[in-house]
């Protein structure tokens, strides 16, 4: 039997449930990655996708920041592009570029290549999760990309700064957009249910690029799919974290999605975010780039953040986006200690 972690023993799970916490829980998006020496060593021998698909190695990478940084939650070592891969769309992760889809999905004909999700295609993740639950004393977070962010990679074929083709599809091909978003949404539900059934104790959905939309377009073209996904996951009874960047303009709409925690980036103050998300728990939002500065600068920013909200109630400390690869991991460790001392 895998050991269980209850709300009672985990400050992270307590904060997700909106409860008061003695110690402020901390974890970092992208904590298991290039800022850590063990990961960089493994990457000399294996590419990213191989690491994510090899349970013993993936588990080792998820565990590294727990020991080294002292964080209060682990994140499954995987990537948002594993879902489209499992659904039949080949993806390459190109060094210093990101995910590349050589045959993008831009027509109804292309869409036929996107197959329904089936759990057998990600049995390696189930195995990684089982290994991790046997080792971890802190909760394990599973995750998925949100349909908009996944769709943007499938349509653009590569990372974009303007998301022009994605928006064009949204505006010009409503039928294609609805089918693509619908199929991806069902995939996200199945993918996260698989992770929860295997032992993930919380899930986070990353809508990393949705902030390129106007609030009205978010409401029309994305929000209904997010509501469907989060409602479907409710019955699994684990905390659901909804994260996006550049979402200050439609954080109120985020608050209308049924979830326990909302993650925000650094472009909004925690006080404003709290007023918009209401009684949901809040996660965030130190600018990742601040970690390149001296500890005194970092600590002053943390103090500023904690003047905006009560960090001991329904709050999880995190960065506003992922750890930058050039971050000194010892500074991350000092930051964890500093927040824990508050
Ligand atoms: O600790 C963790 O969070 C590690 C697990 C993780 C990875 N990707 C591993 C990874 C997580 C949670 C992700 C999420 C992810 N992947 C997102 C959403 C989060 C965000 O940052 O907005 C997105 C948009 C992706 C797609 C993706 N995969 C990108 C943009 C990149 C980076 C490209 C680059 O080289 O900068 C990847 C590759 C990737 N995924 C790496 C890691 C550790 C780097 C691979 C390497 O070692 O070269």
The 10s digit of each residue's pLDDT in 280-295 is 999 999 999 999 999 9
Q: What is the rounded CA–CA span in Å between residue 243 and residue 102? A: 28
* The predicted structure's pLDDT at residue 164: 97
pLDDT at 264 over 70: yes
- Which atom of ligand 1 is the closest one to the Cα of 208? 22
In this prediction, residue 5 carries a pLDDT of: 74
pLDDT of amino acid 2: 44
Any atom of ligand 1 within 6 Å of the Cβ of 80:
yes
Residue 135 vs residues 5, 138, 192: alpha-carbon distances, Å: 12, 9, 21
Nearest CA to ligand 1 atom 5: 77
138 pLDDT band, cuts 50/70/90, is: very high
What is the mean pLDDT of the segment spanning 140-169? 97
Over residues 220-235, mean pLDDT: 98
Atom of ligand 1 nearest to the CA of 94: 35
Rounded mean pLDDT, 81-93: 98
Distance between Cα 52 and ligand 1 center (Å) = 11
Q: If you take atom 22 of ligand 1, which residue's CA is the nearest one?
A: 208
| 334/112 Cα distance (integer angstroms) | 50
pLDDT at 8: 75
* The two three-digit tokens of residue 273, written as one number: 């975010």
- Tell me the CA–centroid distance for residue 270 and ligand 1, in Å: 25
Sign of the dihedral defined by the CA atoms of residues 290, 147, 128, 121, in that order: negative
Model pLDDT, residue 183: 98
* CA 1 to each of CA 4, 97, 133, 137: distance values in angstroms, whole numbers, following the listed order: 9, 41, 9, 14
Domains observed in the chain: 4-340 (3.20.20.210)
**Mean pLDDT across 57-62:** 98
Strand partners for 188: none
For the residues 305-330, what does the mean pLDDT come to? 97
pLDDT category at 7 given cuts 50, 70, 90 is confident
pLDDT digits (tens, 9 = 90+) for 202-223: 999 999 999 999 999 999 999 9
What distance in Å separates the CA atoms of residue 234 and residue 230, rounded to the nearest whole number?
6
pLDDT of residue 48: 97
Q: Active-site positions?
A: 30, 34, 43, 79, 153
pLDDT of residue 3: 52
- pLDDT band at residue 4, thresholds of 50, 70 and 90? low
Torsion-angle region of residue 278: left (phi > 0), alpha (psi -120 to 50) or beta? Answer: left
In this prediction, residue 1 has a pLDDT band, given cuts at 50, 70 and 90, of very low
Look at the block and give the residue holding tokens 């073209």. 221
Look over the chain and give the mean of its residue pLDDT values, rounded to a whole number: 96
**HEC profile of the chain:** CCCCCCHHHCHHHHHHCCCECCCCCECCCCCCCCCCHHHHHHHHHCCHHHHHCCHHHHHHHHHHHHHHHCCCCEECCCCCCHHHHHCCCCCEEECCCEEECCCCCCCHHHHCCCCCCCHHHHHHHHHHHHHHHHHCCCCEEEEEECHHHHHHHHHHCCCCCCCHHHHHHHHHCHHHHHHHHHHHHHHHHHHHHHHHHHCCCEEEEEECCHHHCCHHHHHHHCHHHHHHHHHHHHCCCCCEEEEECCCHHHHHHHHCCCCCEEECCCCCCHHHHHHHHCCCEEEEEECHHHHHCCHHHHHHHHHHHHHHCCCCECEEEEECCCCCCCCCHHHHHHHHHHHHCC
Q: Which tokens sit at 225?
A: 């799919």
């Amino acid at each position: 039997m895998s050991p269980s972690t209850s709300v009672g023993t985990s400050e992270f799970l307590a904060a997700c449930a909106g409860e008061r916490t003695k110690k402020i829980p901390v974890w970092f998006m992208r904590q298991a990655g290039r800022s850590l020496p063990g990961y960089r060593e493994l990457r000399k021998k294996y590419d990213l996708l191989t690491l994510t698909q090899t349970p013993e190695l993936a588990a080792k990478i998820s565990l590294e920041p727990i020991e080294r940084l002292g964080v209060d939650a682990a994140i499954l070592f995987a990537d948002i592009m594993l879902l489209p891969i499992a659904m039949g769309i080949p993806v390459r992760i190109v060094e210093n570029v990101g995910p590349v889809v050589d045959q993008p999905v831009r027509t109804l004909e292309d869409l036929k290549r996107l197959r329904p999700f089936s759990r057998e295609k990600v049995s390696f993740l189930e195995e990684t999760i089982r290994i991790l639950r046997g080792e971890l004393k802190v909760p394990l977070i599973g995750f998925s990309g949100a349909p908009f962010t996944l769709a943007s990679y499938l349509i653009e074929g590569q990372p974009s700064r303007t998301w022009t083709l994605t928006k064009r599809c949204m505006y010009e091909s409503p039928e294609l957009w609805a089918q693509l978003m619908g199929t991806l949404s069902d995939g996200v539900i199945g993918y996260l249910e698989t992770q929860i059934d295997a032992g993930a104790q919380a899930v986070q959905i990353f809508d990393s690029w949705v902030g390129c939309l106007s609030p009205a377009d978010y409401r029309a073209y994305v929000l209904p799919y997010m509501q469907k996904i989060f409602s479907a996951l409710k019955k699994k009874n684990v905390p659901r974290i909804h994260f996006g960047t550049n979402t200050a303009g439609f954080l109120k709409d985020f608050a209308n999605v049924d979830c326990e925690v909302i993650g925000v980036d650094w472009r909004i103050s925690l006080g404003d975010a709290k007023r918009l998300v209401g009684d949901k728990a809040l996660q965030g939002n130190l600018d990742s780039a601040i970690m390149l500065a001296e500890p005194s600068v970092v600590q002053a920013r943390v103090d500023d953040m904690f003047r905006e909200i009560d960090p001991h109630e329904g709050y999880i400390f995190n960065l506003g986006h992922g750890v930058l690869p050039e971050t000194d991991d010892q500074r991350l460790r000092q930051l964890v200690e500093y927040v824990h001392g508050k």
